[in-house]
Amino acid sequence: MIARGDSLVMLGSCFAQYMGERLSGEGFDVVVNPLGTLFNPFSIDATVQAALSAGTSSFPLFEAEEMDHREWRCWWANTRWKANTREELEQRLRAAYGSLGAALRTAQHLVVTLGTNVCYRLGDGLVVTNCQRQPDRLFTEWRASLDEVINCLDGMVSRLLAVNPSLQLLFTVSPYRYHKYGYHQSQLSKAVLLLAEDAVMARHPDSCSYFPAYEILLDELRDYVWYAPDKHHPAPAAIDIIYDKFKRTCIQSQP
């Protein structure tokens, strides 16, 4: 259970952002996706690894061509992380990852929200967090298998517990529907994530638990009225309901 004075880190899809913003609005000490939204487990794990080794890690930077200038960006961060020089961007990223690493080492809770097992890789195999509006020809789409996702998450949990043994991890799956892959493929992707999270919780039963955000929207609410006009994102009213259930299930009531 999350106590009022506990510190939290929330990493993952836009749904993690929704929940984190509500927690922050109620006065909780929470860090939410400081490098940007993270959709797949490999991007989340890369963020965790970079944060825990911020003093020594290198970042996958590249120089992007804009209409009237060139700028440096990072494949592991969203588009707001950019600078005129490589050195400037490295300095900013090192500070951001360092702050996240400090938060992960001291937090009582980490909420991880997975969105999809679909990843985009560069030619050297690097999984990118954000395609940075670069040409499609640079990327290969990769659908990670169940075993690959399990191994990724299990390794991430082990790394975190090695530096913060009392950390409690709460896994969720985003209820966002990935229509770009087709609804059947979106469901298969969610199934891989659900099975992987279940397997990792079985390996770390004292440290990992699950909150059914995905199931609340699809199985309890079960109507398009609970979706935003795009019919893919949950509507604000649905987020409010899920957050209320999250509070009643995962947050200690005040005496």
d(CA 190, CA 117): 8
CB atoms near residue 126 (< 10 Å): 13
Q: What is the pTM of this model?
A: 0.91
7-58+98-250: which CATH number, 3.40.50.1110, 2.40.50.140, 3.90.600.10, 3.40.50.620? 3.40.50.1110
pLDDT of residue 255: 54
Q: 29 in helix, strand or coil?
A: strand
Q: H-type helices in 5-85, by residue range? A: 14-25, 41-52
Q: Would you write out the chain's pLDDT as a tens digit for each of its 255 residues? A: 888 889 999 999 877 888 888 899 889 999 999 999 999 999 999 999 999 998 677 899 999 887 677 899 999 999 889 999 999 999 999 999 999 999 999 999 999 999 999 999 999 999 999 999 899 999 999 999 999 999 999 999 999 999 999 999 999 998 877 777 777 888 899 999 999 999 999 999 999 999 999 998 887 777 777 877 877 778 888 888 888 888 888 888 765
Annotated domain spans of the chain? 7-58+98-250
d(CA 199, CA 54): 29
Q: Residues 191-226, buried b or exposed e (16+ Cβ, 10 A)? A: ebbbebbebbbeebeebbbbbbbbebbeeebeeeeb
pLDDT of residue 162: 98
Q: 243 in helix, strand or coil?
A: helix
- Residue written as token pair 């979706």: 227
